[in-house]
Structure 1
Amino acid sequence: MADLQSTNRVALAKVREATFGVIPANPAFKAVRQTSSSLAANPQTKISAEIRGDRQVTDLILVGEDASGNVGGELAFGVADDDFEEALQGTWSNSPSITVVTADTEISDVAATTLTVSAGGAQFVAGMLTLTQNLPTAANNKLAKVVSSTGTSIVYPAATYSADAVIPVGASVRQVGFEGASGDITAVTAGGNGLACTAADFTTFGMVPGEWVKVGDGDNANCSFAGTAANNDFCRIASVAAKKVTFDRVPAGWAADTGTGKTIRVFTGDFLTNASTKRSNTIERQYLDHSPVTYEYLRGMTLNTLAIEAKQQDIATYTKNYIGRDAYLPSPMARVSGATDVAAPSYGVLNTSTNVGRLGFDGSVITGPNFVMQATININNNLRAQKAIGSIGAVGIGNGEFNVSGSLQTYFGDPSIYQKIVNNTLTSYDQRVGRSDGNRETIVMDLPAIKMSGGSPSVSGKNQDVMIDAPFTAIRHATLGYTMSVGRFWYLPTS
């Protein structure tokens, strides 16, 4: 007797389409980490209106087909990168990186001072701070400061690395920040809070307005501001010039500091903002208990909504909703020709206790007395399936208004949030979640302009804490020009 299909044996994967609703040739399906899925092809039928003398129905006629549904998941670094890009309809602006796809090719040699690469070395400029990973010699996997580069080499200070002659698939070098010369980077307040320099050129390090950066390296005392410890924290960039980076968000206590004798480090990441580039996918579902395995394909699947939820002492979760073209069921239901597999990122799931680095409201960290019990961010692209004569499925997906909303449920410790609700005050919300181990990979979600749309203190009965549920709507930031951004840091110091 054959085994019945178990939910634990249903695998989900997807591949980006070049043409809406068309499965790419030789598709490389990227595995999707999921907690649930309600994806379905929904046949649209009509009963024949033909009148028969025997009162019976002549036929049930297939007239159309919808493809749609939800996928639930637990938030982890890297897992939702494609989802963020599709939900915001933007494109990740990535820091320079080289990853070995073919052994001993993209990076072919590691010497004491030099990484030999096949191409792309010139994108790593002097002063950049890089992270090497998955090199054969464990001690070679570390931070290092670039001295110079060419198209085929990245040069570091003497005795930075031990020799590695054969470089495996998955080894990589990636910019994660930059480091100034001794005493060159200073913290300033005149003309706006920010960083200034004399020898370096800030415009060469890939920073853009709106991006969050981490100033200082608490793991290396010589790489942080000593005179003003408060400066060693996250800041948001307002503008970038060769000799000054101006911040519009700084930590409380920011002050001028000459950084005398310090080689100040600043950590940067990849950056994404909302735009208007729709992307569709073919989603593959495998029923692995079937013998042979059954394959189902949903084509033209375009991400409509993305909901991110954080509850107190829980796992950070997200739910995405797709609208698509149709379903394709091979006959027999075998895998499409030339398909290969790409593993999902393996980073650990993030919790809402030790993995939340910051909840920021109006530019400041939310702490007591208004502790947060629950926070949500909801992205809605207001997509619509476009139907036409001559097609059983959708002929396209229409774009709609980009809406971002959310809510904060907080203790009513003081009236500050309530005042912003009543006064329709323009404020902001940002959320940082990341690992507290390994390289402390981190995600930053920022809504630079929001208005609270309701909420008042709730007195629900005896022996209860007074809470306030504060829904909000994000709007276009007048200066930055976008509604939402997402940043990802591949490395952060412990403090």
Structure 2
Amino acid sequence: MPFANSSEARIAYVAEAAFGTTPATPTFKVFRTTGGGVRTNKTTQTSDELRADRNVPDEGLLGLDVSGAYPFEFSYGTFDDMLESALRGTWTTNVLKNGITPKYFTVEETLELGATDSFNRFTGCAVNTFALAIAARAKVTGSVGLMGQKETLASAIIAGATYTAASTEPILTSSAHVAALAVAGLNPAPKLRSVNFEFNNSLRARPVVGGLYSEEFGSGRFDATGTLEAYFETQALYQAVLDHGGGALSATIGKDANKKYTILCPKIIFLDGAKQIGGNNDDVMVSIPFRAVFDATEACSVKITRAVA
């Protein structure tokens, strides 16, 4: 019997019209990822019953939940569906803002085992966290963190299922494919070594008596945070931290015209930033965590525009 190889794994997903229900004859989209995966987490509890022979009498199964993450290298058009789920919004004339509308997927992991393949299907999956990292002289990378309701195992595709091949758009890098990265209102404009974004839906399971699986997830506040890392040139940037300042943070990512994104946090507030003095061969840096808050003009905390020229 052959062993499974990670290099032959296929990850695919399809949107669900109803939470936890895979569409009939689904059209899966193959997902570009560098590894990771989701899994079922079992919650059990040991019996406290007394026994004269000191043995444990039982271990009860209390619940089953699905969670995990897929790391990725960022490319145009690959993550638009996941961004909708992450922001709980809908692309409207190529603009996506954070909102309140959930979007769920069935995620399928396929492993090649020769004559009979292995299929793990995770239904009721929503994006709980979405992270994006832009660092100097590096690929633009990130991670999609999912929560799901249920896992089922199979040895064949769903009857009538089809698979749309993943895009072949190039991997984007910070050196060649990031422009207009700026925080409005800062003078002089800081020279950044890295910027990270993280969007968190604060999802929670809703267990019920009589069931092992969660009902449709509850959601907390949409929390958009990140970190700026800048070279220390003047006191201006650190003074903005002490003044509880911020501004509008924006970055455009993409290679070709009409295949770019602009990520805009129209109002960020600097949190507990600090100067970092390293060793003899290090630069002095300013590391500033930030939070994006509601902006009345844009009516959101995060706005993403695609198909930017």
TM over 0.5: yes
Q: What's the TM-score bracket when you normalise by the shorter of the two chains? A: over 0.9
Tell me the equivalent position of 1:482.
300
> Which letter does structure 2 place at the counterpart of 1:19?
A
5+ residue gaps, structure 1 = 95-269
1:291 Cα shift?
Answer: 3.0
Instruction: Name the CA distance, whole Å, in 1 between partners of 2:113 and 2:137.
Output: 35
- 1:79-158 equivalent positions in 2, closer than 5 A: 79-94=78-93
CA gap 1:366/1:336 in 2 versus in 1, 3 angstroms = farther
User: Are the equivalent residues in 2 in contact too, given 1:274–1:485 (CA < 8 A)?
Assistant: yes
Q: 2:195 aligned with 1:375, yes or no?
A: yes
Tell me the equivalent position of 2:183.
361
Quote the sequence identity (%): 29
CA gap 1:60/1:334 in 2 versus in 1, 3 angstroms = farther
Tell me the equivalent position of 1:386.
206
Tell me the equivalent position of 1:72.
71
- 1:405-444 equivalent positions in 2, closer than 5 A: 405-436=225-256, 439=257, 441-444=259-262
1:395 Cα shift?
Answer: 1.2
Encode CA deviations 1:206-240: one digit per residue, 9 max, x unaligned: xxxxxxxxxxxxxxxxxxxxxxxxxxxxxxxxxxx
Encode CA deviations 1:327-381: one digit per residue, 9 max, x unaligned: 1123xx32222211112222111001011122011167986xx321111011011
Q: 2:293 aligned with 1:471, yes or no?
A: no
1:64 Cα shift?
Answer: 1.2
1:27 Cα shift?
Answer: 1.1
Instruction: Name the CA distance, whole Å, in 2 between partners of 1:40 and 1:21.
Output: 16
- What TM-score do you get using the length of structure 2 for normalisation? 0.94
Instruction: Name the CA distance, whole Å, in 2 between partners of 1:462 and 1:48.
Output: 58
Tell me the equivalent position of 1:286.
110
- What TM-score do you get using the length of structure 1 for normalisation? 0.60
* Secondary structure, aligned partner of 2:83: helix
Tell me the equivalent position of 1:349.
171
Tell me the equivalent position of 1:325.
149
Encode CA deviations 1:250-282: one digit per residue, 9 max, x unaligned: xxxxxxxxxxxxxxxxxxxx1111110011111
- 1:169-184 equivalent positions in 2, closer than 5 A: none
Q: 2:268 aligned with 1:453, yes or no?
A: no
Tell me the equivalent position of 1:35.
34
Instruction: Name the CA distance, whole Å, in 2 between partners of 1:313 and 1:52.
Output: 63
Encode CA deviations 1:61-106: one digit per residue, 9 max, x unaligned: 3221010101111110001111111111110013xxxxxxxxxxxx
1:26 Cα shift?
Answer: 1.1
> Which letter does structure 1 place at the counterpart of 2:4?
Q
Tell me the equivalent position of 1:222.
none
Tell me the equivalent position of 2:13.
14
Give the alignment partner of residue 272 of structure 1, picking from 83, 96, 106.
96
1:43 Cα shift?
Answer: 2.0
1:49 Cα shift?
Answer: 4.0
**How many aligned positions are there?**
309
User: Are the equivalent residues in 1 in contact too, given 2:187–2:236 (CA < 8 A)?
Assistant: no
Tell me the equivalent position of 2:121.
297
Instruction: Name the CA distance, whole Å, in 2 between partners of 1:292 and 1:356.
Output: 44
- 1:191-340 equivalent positions in 2, closer than 5 A: 270-330=94-154, 333-340=155-162
> Which letter does structure 1 place at the counterpart of 2:181?
L
User: Are the equivalent residues in 2 in contact too, given 1:359–1:365 (CA < 8 A)?
Assistant: no
> Which letter does structure 1 place at the counterpart of 2:27?
A
Instruction: Name the CA distance, whole Å, in 2 between partners of 1:366 and 1:20.
Output: 49
CA gap 1:364/1:433 in 2 versus in 1, 3 angstroms = farther
User: Are the equivalent residues in 2 in contact too, given 1:358–1:365 (CA < 8 A)?
Assistant: no
Encode CA deviations 1:386-412: one digit per residue, 9 max, x unaligned: 100121111120011011011110101
1:38 Cα shift?
Answer: 3.1
User: Are the equivalent residues in 1 in contact too, given 2:188–2:236 (CA < 8 A)?
Assistant: no
Instruction: Name the CA distance, whole Å, in 2 between partners of 1:394 and 1:338.
Output: 28
User: Are the equivalent residues in 2 in contact too, given 1:9–1:289 (CA < 8 A)?
Assistant: no
Higher strand share: 2
Encode CA deviations 1:6-36: one digit per residue, 9 max, x unaligned: 1111110111111111111111111110012
